[in-house]
Chains A and B, each alone.
Chain A
Amino acid sequence: VIWMTQSPSLLSASTGDRVTISCRMSQGISSYLAWYQQKPGKAPELLIYAASTLQSGVPSRFSGSGSGTDFTLTISCLQSEDFATYYCQHRGTFGQGTKVEIK
């Protein structure tokens, strides 16, 4: 069983900030990691797959990095529409989620 630890669970930030979210695996998974954004009352949306490939239509301020056990989602310049909850995912396991809220 592969364990996944996503942090932080809550992130307070302001518009224009650069924010990073971490996802750490208990064993190496190469680059098989995806990131999703979910807004209240809505379905999740795929942001990034294969650790660093941006899904079509996703703004370039989103980026993903990492391989093996440590992964990061970065939002380079936080916009008002980016306040949401973010999840990492590997196969049938999702991270616990990171809520990005307005400071």
Chain B
Amino acid sequence: QVQLVESGGGLVKPGGSLRLSCAASGFTFSDYYMSWIRQAPGKGLEWVSYISSSGSTIYYADSVKGRFTISRDNAKNSLYLQMNSLRAEDTAVYYCASTVVVAATGYYFDYWGQGTLVTVSS
């Protein structure tokens, strides 16, 4: 069955960096768009970024543009999120999710990992 396992979260100081990973199994990873979505403690869901199946198309939320970089390695069935210049407001559980794109105007997230907690604090 589909499995997405995030890792790499932890405590980091403001201005620091962290790299999250998401290991995928149970489906043909190279066929799927993938996304990162986050959830601050006690808050709602916020989409962060998505990457096309080949890696050629990438989008970011304005809140992370210029600081975060999404990437993937299809040979390793893995998705990554490099987070630089971290701020307190980046504190959240970060989920990776497989993403279904519909007619280039809509997309949704059909499978989610369990999430990894990133805490930005001095």
Is B61 interfacial (CB-CB < 8 Å)? yes
The answer on a CB contact under 8 Å between A90 and B109 is no
Q: How large is the interface on A (under 10, 10 to 19, 20 to 34, 35 or more residues)?
A: 20 to 34
A92 CB within 8 Å of chain B: yes
Q: Answer yes or no: B58 CB below 8 A from chain A CBs.
A: no
- Cβ of B106 and Cβ of A91 under 8 Å apart? yes
Docked CA distance A91–B33 (Å): 13
Q: How many whole Å from A23's CB to the nearest CB in chain B? A: 13
Chain B residues in the interface with A (C-beta under 8 A): 44-47, 50, 59, 61, 95, 100, 102-103, 105-115
What's the dominant secondary structure at chain A's contact region? loop
> Is B45 a contact of A94 with CB atoms below 8 Å?
yes
Contacts A87-B44, A87-B45, A96-B44 hold; do A44 and B112 have CB atoms under 8 A apart?
A: yes
Q: Is the CB of A45 within 8 A of B112?
A: yes
B105 contacts A30, CB within 8 Å?
Answer: yes
A50 at the interface (CB under 8 A from B): yes
Assess the A29–B106 pair: CB atoms within 8 A: yes
Query: What is the CB-to-nearest-CB distance from B113 to chain A, in angstroms, rounded to a whole number?
Result: 6
B115: contacting residue among A33, A43, A46, A90, CB under 8 A: A43
Asked if A46 contacts B44 (CB within 8 A), the reply is no
